[in-house]
Amino acid sequence: MLQLVVTERLFALFPNSSEGQLTKLRAGIVSRDNLKNHAAAISLGRYLMIGHGEDINGGRTRASTLADAFEALVGAVYLDGGLEHSRRFILQQIQSDFEKLLQDSKKSNPKGELQEVLQSISQTIPEYILLSQGGPEHRKHFQCSVIWKRRELGRGTGHSKKMAEVAAANAALVNRAWETPLTPAS
């Protein structure tokens, strides 16, 4: 239930992400440590029925115990109220995780950020050009350039074409060459 709801929401928030990227994001949200934090936020540990020995040895605050208790609570909400009720409960409890992912994606998506900046100026979208690639198969390196309105805004290198494009977008965001007027060649 928990993974289903998280997967649905991630797909809605990041429709252009690959299956692997979505799986990685979901794994972070449903990880033991993250679920433990959500259980602790609602003081779930104090409601657990555990033995005396487990209690004096920190069972109410143990990550695995709290994570399991949170998942059990989700299951109980499902059994009591059905799919929609449990979906609302899950999304309410982990909303902060999605907000953090959205903030992080804006910080870690230089190509998207660059495109937004440039499209606020003009409808022309940036173009990424592969300048070179080399090296052995197990250690290739790529160099890309980002061009906008026939002007190079930045260059970048990486161990994949995508990494080189991201590096070029980062360079463009640092250089901000679109703000500098073109000077005619002499």
pLDDT tops 70 at residue 7: yes
Span 132-141, average pLDDT: 87
Mean pLDDT of the chain: 89
What band does 184 get if pLDDT is binned at 50, 70 and 90?
low
Q: Indicate whether 94 pLDDT > 90.
A: yes
**Tokens standing for 80?**
């009591």
Q: Where are the domains of the chain?
A: 2-108, 111-179
SS3 65: helix
Is domain 2-108 annotated with CATH 1.10.10.10?
Answer: no
Q: Does residue 30 carry a pLDDT above 90?
A: yes
Q: Which of 39-53, 100-114, 146-160 has the lowest mean pLDDT?
A: 100-114
Q: Are 128 and 168 in contact (CB under 8 A)?
A: yes
pLDDT of residue 16: 66
- Grouping H, G, I as helix, E, B as strand and the rest as coil, residue 14 is coil
Whether residue 156 contacts residue 171, with contact meaning beta carbons closer than 8 Å, is answered with yes
Reported as a pLDDT band with limits 50, 70 and 90, residue 18 is confident
pTM: 0.58
pLDDT-derived band at 88 (thresholds 50, 70, 90) equals very high
Burial class (CB in 10 A: 0-12, 13-18, 19+), 170: middle
What class does CATH assign to 111-179? alpha beta
Provide mean pLDDT across the span 104-126.
84
What is the predicted pLDDT for the residue at 59?
A: 86
- Residue pair 91/6 in contact (Cβ under 8 Å)? The answer is no
Q: What is the pLDDT of residue 99?
A: 86
Q: Do the Cβ atoms of 1 and 78 come closer than 8 Å?
A: yes
